[in-house]
Every structure is written in structure tokens, then in C-alpha cells.
Structure 1
Amino acid sequence: MNKDIYYIEPEDDITDIINHLKSSKQKVVALVPPKKLSVLRSAINLKLIAKTAKNLDKAVVIVTLDPVLMKLAAVSGLPFSKNLQSRPVLPSEYKDAPISNKSSLKNQDINELDDVEESEQGAPQASKTTETQSVKKAEPKDTTKDNLALADKSKSNLVENLDSNELEQDTEESGEKSVKKIPTFESLRKWIILGVALFIVLIIGSVWAFVLAPAAKIMVKIKTTPDNFSENITLVAAADQAVNKEGKILLESETLEKESSIEFEATGERNDGEKASGKLTLTANFSFSTSTASPSNPDRISVPIGSAFAKGNLNYLTIASTDFSWDGSTTSCTVRTTNTCQIRKTVDVVAFEGGTRFNIDPVASGWQSSVEKVDAFNSSAFTGGTDKIVKIVTASDVEKAKNQASQIDDGKEELFAKVKETELKIEASYKKTLGDAIPSPAIGEVAAEGKAKLLAKITYKVNILDKSAIEEYIRTLVSSRLGEDQKIYEIGSLFIERFQENNASSAKLKAIVKTGPEVTEKTVLDKSLGKKIGEVTTLIKSINGVSEVKVDTSFPWVRSIPEDINKVSVNITIEEN
């Protein structure tokens, strides 16, 4: 014979079980309760199930391994079984079925007896039989048949019978007779007040626990497909030329200026010792054949201050100006040759630089002059020169230091750090420019211990693009290729290559675009509000592209998603590929 198996859920109550019995089309119904289910631990509920089964002419079997539930089922007149395959045990076959009147009635509240009698008023004959059986089970072995008759009459007789049985039992055990009084309303008033207060607290707690407190968080993970994006874009210099959707992106730049200091060795040398000095005899040569000099219009030769005269590689400078004048007569000549009138004067000179090498003996010939028609010789020695060799900065030293400065790249990382998260840098456009370079000390000056510095201003520059503009172009192009039920979830790994900076800059834009099914917060909420957690998980997972669904509730007892949208949050994430 076919049987209906009903697995009782933790949230089911006695009404759900009885409704299932009424709606079942099978004659045999097996009730399988979960562990620690309180709904079947009430003798009243089990009696209601037994009564409903009898009225519907159906056989109800309790499938359980709980010995307490087995005993309650046997007392209530319901067969039970350890599993769905074993033969049910009838109440008459259960060895622990008879339970003493004293223990049974003492643990059963008088209000429970009221409920039993009220529920059984609709079937007087069945009620009478049940009450008779109940009294027989609770009655000691020596109770008389008169007490059974009294138990069938009314609830008050049943209570009186309970007191009488307790009295007789106590008499048999202790040999003493005592009268147990029924508590009055006054003695029970404080317990009634306490019970009402506890009932109100229970109602408020239930409202908070099952109405106000429940909240849920639904986490949905979407599986996406990554695709490589590669398209040419045009980079424009003016904002009014930019059209993001057409791939015309505004090209901007980020710059950084830094002062760099380069230390270098001064390689030039100079003798800064005392300069030798002496007297130099200058001879001005006037020609008789070409000159038109006269007393009124004499020929003149001028030797300015600082005029150079050299003996070999030794240069000497005049420290005063000297002027020569010839009126054309022979008497004014110091020395006269065949065709030349020589006029001589003595002038003080000083060596071009310090050094003992400028100390020379008198030399009558071999001098070179920087003044035309003027010869020189020294008739006395030049003295006073001393040696003091110092390092000086040369032009070649500065050029070498500039080359070193152009290799410095310590501003690159700092420049890239200035680029915002919302901007994309074009690394191929990075460059640096060396500005004015100032040596210290200057060219030709003495470098202490041969050390010098070059202070240079370096400008670092990199071109950047607005990420939002790039993403707008990518979304416009990719969306036109997707179906209606697909969407773009993520655009990443943006990169620019083949950058060409000219009048019409262009580049290749590359990216990874993750696309997948369009699952929105509204879609998730429509399938979740007011439904049980298991059902919500199944419904959302049925959406194509959803790889994982997880539901977290505010409290362990919350088994359903609240209907209030304000108490439900949805978090949609992308599965890492």
C-alpha cells in the first residue's frame, strides 16, 4: 500500500501538520519530525493528530528514534516506527505504554485538560472513550470502578478524583491520611499576574524577533568572460576637439621640475703664486720714407695699458699706457738707422700669472709684441715670481657635468606618483629636459680641493589621458556588439602603445573587458522578497551566469527573506578568473 511521507520542517506548527493530513490522498501517512522538534513533544498536539486521523479514517505513523517521543506517541494512541522500512509498533505492543496516574496527571496542567475537553466536545463519544482510557492509565491498580465513572462526568470530578487518588497513594506509602486543598484564586493571583507579564514579554519578543529584527544580505557572484580590446584612438590637444564616443580623446600632460646637483672634479690648473715684474724697454719704429710727420702734425704710436709682450711662452702685461710721438726730425730719434727712426721708452710690466718661471734674466732679443711697430727687450732681470698651483673649473668640466645630469632619472617615479587614479599615463611619452646649468664655482674660478658642483633644473614630463573618457569610448563600442541580456561588468588593464606625438597624435588603446549576463539588484530582489532562504538560492542560481549565491541573515532563527526592501541588501561581485 502506498503511503504519504511528510517531513516536518522546524517552522511547521500543529496546524500545518493537521492540514497536511486533511489534504493527503493516502490512507497511510508517515510523519518524520526533525531532531528536537517541540511541536510533537506536547501530548495535546499528539492527541489532536490521533483524533484527526481517526475522523479522516487514516493511519498515522510517527517515524522517530527518540524514546520520549515513542512513549508520548504510544500514550496518545499513535503507532510509531524507527524508520520508513520497519513495521510500525502499535500502542498496545509498547511495553512502557501504561504510565501511572500520579506521574501523568501531576505533569499535566489543568489548563491542558480544559483544552482537551474543549477540543473533544465535537465528538462526545470519542471524548468519553479517550477520557476513560486516560483515567484508567492514571489510576492505581486498586482504584475502584466508581472513580472511573466520576472521571467521565466533568472536569471538576476529574480533579477531585486526582486529589483522592493522590491521597490514597500517600496513605498507602506513609500510612498517614491528609486532605489536600484545591488552591484558591487569591493564592494564584500573583502567579496569574506573572504569567500575564511573561505572556506580554513573549509577544513583544516575538514581534521583535520575527518582525522587526529580521534582515538579510544576499551576495551574488557573477561569472564573466574576459575579452581583449584593441583599437586605434586619436589624441587631440584642445578640449573642444575631443569626442570621447568616437575615440577622440583629449591629450594632457603632467610635469615635475626638480633641482639636481652634480658634483664633479675640476681639472684645470692655474698658478696663483706671486707674479714676476720688471721694466721692459719699448722701441717705436717710425719710417723716414713713408712718414709725413712734422712738428705741427707728428706721427703717434700708443701702447695701451695691459698690452701683451711675450718671451717664448711667457706673457707679460704693461701696467701703464705709453705714448710715442715723432715730429719727423732726426734729433728726436733715440736710435737712427738707414730708413728708421727709433724712439725708446721704459714701461713697467707684470707677468700674466704667478710662477717662478716668469723670473727671467735680461734678454735683448726674441720678444714678441701685440702692438704694431713696437719692439721690446728687457735690460734688467724680472723677479718676484713664486709658485702656487690651484685647481680651476674649465668649460670642458662643465660640459661633462651636464652630460651626467642628463642621465639622472630620479624624478620619474615621483612624476608617475603625481598621476591620479582617474588618469592613465602614457609611459612612451615620458621625457626629461635639462634647463640652465650653473657651475659653482664658475668657469675659471678656483675649486677648493678640486671639487665643484653643477646646479641644474630638470623638467620631467609625461602625457596622460582621462580614464573616464577612455572607458566611455570602450563602453560605446563594446555595447554595440553585445546582446540585450549582456552587459559590461569591468574594464581593466588599460594600456597605450604606439604613441606618436605630432600634429595629429595617435595611439593604440588596449584593455581587458569583462562581460556577462545582466543581473541587477532589482532582479535579485524580485526573486527573493518574502521567500525562504533555500528557495531564494535556487531561484537566483537558475539565472544564467550566476556562479554562487550566499545569504546571510541577521539572526540564526531568520529562515526567510524579509518582505521589506529596506531590510535586504544585495551585493553583486565578479568571480575572479
Structure 2
Amino acid sequence: MSLYEMMEKILGAEDGAKVEIPEENFNLLMLKILKAKARKENRQLNLVTAGNKGRTLVRQIGEKEEDLPQGEKAALPIKVKKKFTLPKLGKIGRFALFALAGLITLGGIAYWFLYYFPRAEINLSLRPIPLIKEIAVVADTEAEEVDGDKGVIPGKTRSVEESGEKSTAATGTATVGEKATGTITFTSTVNQSCGQGTKVKENDSGLIFLTDAALTFSSAPEDKDVAVTAEKIGPTYNLASGKTFTVVSGCSIGGLSIVGVNSAAFTGGTSQQVKIVSSTDRSKLLTELKKELTDKAKEELTATGDEVIIASALKVEVTKQDYSHAVGEQADSVSLSLTVKVTTISYLGADIQNLISQVIGELVPEGFTLFAGETEIEPLDPTLTAARLRFTAKITAQVVPEVDVEKIKAELATRSIPSAEEYLSGVGEITGYEISLFPNLPASLQRIPRNVNRIKINLVTELPEGGEEETNETTP
């Protein structure tokens, strides 16, 4: 067997190769070549010798020798340890090796650049749907914690007194003055009597006067003087002398049996328009000052941090009121000194938010999620008692369709811009989108990153016209 055939046998063996050492045409160099070949190929080499020459060669390469029966071939196993050695390369080989290493390095850099360096930021527009619900709430002064099942929150009785003064101009008017007086000489043709306050009328003007004293005629015809006073105030009752009068009522006979004449003019009648306090002035003053003091008390009540006061749930009591003038009194203005006591039941804003958070999950329709914006709470129809404040809480919030952000990231990865836009256009929950890539490569090279951790998606809520957009960021 030639040296070439022995080497082929070593290559063809799976684990170990049994090679016979010929006695002829074989030397130590050839044996060393076989041993080196076996070591290089990680094969176990079993050497079989047939004579003294072969055993001598085996001993020369450092293997132990065993005595064998004459004529029997024996295999001396040589265990070859695994050892990696670089083959000797020429200039061309070294160049090829360096070129390969460079390509591998560039490939690694390119992989890192394409996988870890690019990033995408995508804004997905969602149109929120208003969520308006009403729930019954009780602020109870005896409650110590929020109970979502019963709609109860802790309440606290608050009370404050405020005092103040206010004036307003008098708007009432009245005519004031003096009544005219004079003396009338009555002539009676028959015996009769006329009582005090007998009503007599001046024949031309029809003005009425009243007698200040009683008259008795006992020997008719007879004349008697009596003082009279005008029925009303005013200068029109200042009659000139020589006027004639007839009795309207008050005499036992009267009529044409008695007439009167004034020999002197009547005087003293005066009148003028003056300001007086009207009932409207006082009621208006009370309403305005009561409101001012109530508002002041409300500010004091609500100046305690997170406490909420319902303005329409205040009990206002007037504990003191003092007007400067009575109704009808002449005055240019009227003033009021007033003290009010304002009582209500307050609650903490954090408690009502806690209550809403406990129940709002049941209010959101299936397939939607509560948008992370402000939830408005409006108290309606409050009813205040000594220990409880009951009202209806009108909840206004925004809900948006549920969006599987991670699924969208996975679907967008590695897509070109046109492909990404086509995909996003088909996602029913989305009303619009905006894609930004970094770095800004030419359009033909632009792609969504393969690494989904380099994709950032922002959910943008399109608020109604006049409102501001709100953004809910996802973690890339």
C-alpha cells in the first residue's frame, strides 16, 4: 500500500483508521507524515506491523511496543490530541484572509446600523367619542372612606358668618306740604246744627274744606263764623276772598238752607315732591348685600385647598338686619347693616375622582378605552340636609378605540413607506397617521426599522374644532 493510499484511508475513516506498516519501501519520514495527517484530521491512527522494521519505526516515533506471537499482526493505537494550527499561507492567501475579515467586519457594522441605529416615530390619529354618564353621589358627614358601590364619599360640614353694610339711593317719591286754612261765615235760614268736620265745597273750583268746630243755629236766620281747613295740601287751596261755599255733608238740614262766604283769603297751603324710601329700595338692598356676603363666605369656604363647594348647595341664614329708614320715610338714601351665616357640606376633589375611577370602567363601552385626559365632573341638582349632600355627578370624558400598538409595530417592521402607509390606511381605528424616519435617507432606501424597539408610536387624539390635540405616548 502506497503512502497516498494510506492517507486516503485515514481521510475515509469516520473515527479511527487501521493502517498496516509494510516491511519494504516504508521509512520513518512516511510514518511521521501519516501521524501528522491523522492529527490534522482528528482521526485515531491504529498502526499494524508485520515485522521488526515496522516495530522499530513505531518505537522511533515514541510509541510503546508489545511482544506478539510470531507471524501475527498487531495494531498499536496512537491517540492523536486535537490541536488547531493555522495553515501557512502565501501572499495571495493572506490577502484573501484579510479581505474576508474586512467583509465580515463591514457586514457586522452594516447589521448594527440597520438593526440598532435607525428609528421611526409614528403618530396615529384617533377620533375620541364623548362619554357622558350620570351617577348618584352622596357626601356623607358620617362616612370615613369612599364607597364606589354605594356612591358615597366623605363629607364635612362647613359654616362661616359674614357681616357688612351697604347703601342705596332712595327711589320713592311723595308730595308733602301744608293745608290751607281760613274762615267762612255761614248764614242759615233755618234752625239746625252742623258737626265738627262738616264738609263744604267752594262753588267755582269744587275744592273741599272741613270745619274745625261744630255750629248750631237756633234763631234763624242767623250768621256764624267757623274756621276751616283744606281737605288736602297744596297751594291750590289758597282761595281768594269772596268765594261762596255750600254744605256737602255734616249739617242736620243743609242744602239750600245754609250758605257760606269767606271774607278773607285762605292761606298756608303748600306742596313739594320729595324722596322717600320705598319697599323696593329695601328689598333690593337686602338682595344685593346678602349676595355679596354669601359670595364672600363662599370664597372663604373654598379657600381650603382640595375641598369642593357646590355653589347652589348653600344654606344662607340672616342673623341680623338693621335698616336706617322705614318704608315711606323721607330720605335721599337708605342703608342696611346685615349679618349672614352660610352653611354647606364640602367634599374632597380627590375623593370624587376616586369614586369616578371605581365606577367609570363599567361605563366605558366594549372595544374602547378611556383616553388619558381630564375627566370633567359637574354636580347637578344638589340637595342639602343637616348631615348629607346629595347630587347627580355628570361625568364627561373621552374614549378612543382600543389599538394594539405592539401588533402594529410588528406589522410595520421592515416595510417601505408606501407599504406602511397602505397598511395603516387599512387599520379601521386610525383616522390619520404621520411617519418620521431617522436618518433621513433617500426615498428608495427608507424603511421602517426591523427592530421593533426602535419604533415609537404616539396616539394622537383629534379633539373637536377649537380644542387642542392631546398625545398619549407609547414606550419604544
Q: Structure with the greater relative contact order (CA < 8 A, sep ≥ 6): 1 or 2?
A: 2
Q: Between Structure 1 and Structure 2, which shows a larger proportion of helix residues?
A: 1
Structures share fold, TM-score greater than 0.5: no
TM-score by length of 2: 0.37
